[in-house]
A = this chain, B = another copy of it.
Amino acid sequence: MLRAVLTHPTPAELLAFLREHVHAGGVTLHLAGELEVVYAGRAASMAEAGDRFVIVKADGSLQVHGPRGVKPVNWQPRTDFLQADLEDGCVLLHAERRSPAEVVRVRVLSCALVSALTLTDDALFLLQGTEAQMQEALARHPEVIEPGLTVLDRELLVGVGGLDLYARDAQGRYVIVELKRGKAGHEAVHQLSRYVGAVRPQVPGVVRGILAAPDITTPALRALEAAGLEFRRIEALPQVQEEALQPLLFQ
């Protein structure tokens, strides 16, 4: 897994190290030191310098981190071109991307540590508690939303975007359900409103719209009610939690 590591290399040593490892298959590079970074792309440009570290992964993604926070100070999700050079006695990392056109240039003023790792590809991976799981749970147990509700379809496409749940209530009225796994805001109300407006002309009778979420912002609730739509608080999904937790036990 560990291919090589150097502490306090000279620019020439660093350049040789980078050239040896940067384009080798499956290699992740980690370089810490005093760096100058320039980014230009999309609509913004940026310049920045200080104690930083750079990570270059095998897929060509590059990120420059500062002393704080999860978010990199500069990054490039995918590079079409990646090269290391000497310029004015300093190593220069140059990463380019087309479509959108972007450049990140990292000048290494001094390097304290550089390492090359071989990370084998992904391992098993589980995620639960997503909106997809919430949708699955409520499709199976629509009575949590409202007694007498029958689910007709999930992810039904209407114009642009898809309805989370398309159902019929006890009185036979069509019901459109929009799900949010977190607190619902304006955009959820507009989404639901848009779907209801798209379905109404296509079916006879009343079309109800229900926003189902664990919580809703106060202004969003006002907007929802003003639009004649409904909110259902989803407190818990007991069946789902048990089912979903099972895989964890067999880890």
Contact = CB atoms under 8 A, between A and B. Distances in A.
A130 B31 CA distance: 29
* Main SS class of interface, A: mixed
A142 interface: no
Contacts of A182: 42-43
A30 B52 CA distance: 13
Number of copies: 2
A144 B63 CA distance: 36
Contacts of A55: 65
Interface in A180-225: 181-182, 186-187, 190, 194, 214, 219
A53 to B, nearest CB: 7
B115 A113 contact: yes
A63 B9 CA distance: 27
Given A5-B5, A51-B1, A67-B26, A130 B190 contact: no
A189 to B, nearest CB: 10
Interface string A211-251: 00010000100000000000000000000000001011001
A90 to B, nearest CB: 14
Interface string A14-37: 000000000000101010111010
Contacts of A30: 30, 32, 53
A126 interface: yes
A71 to B, nearest CB: 9
B67 A58 contact: yes
Nearest to A28: B67
14 contacts: A28-B67, A43-B214, A45-B128, A45-B245, A46-B126, A46-B128, A47-B125, A51-B118, A53-B119, A59-B67, A67-B121, A69-B77, A70-B75, A160-B186
Interface of A: 1-2, 5, 7-8, 26, 28, 30, 32-34, 36, 42-53, 55, 57-59, 61, 63, 65-70, 72-73, 75-77, 112-113, 115, 117-130, 159-161, 181-182, 186-187, 190, 194, 214, 219, 245, 247-248, 251
Given A1-B112, A53-B117, A115-B115, 18 more contacts: A1-B32, A28-B67, A30-B32, A43-B130, A45-B129, A47-B125, A47-B248, A47-B251, A48-B123, A49-B124, A51-B119, A57-B68, A61-B69, A63-B70, A113-B117, A186-B190, A187-B190, A190-B190
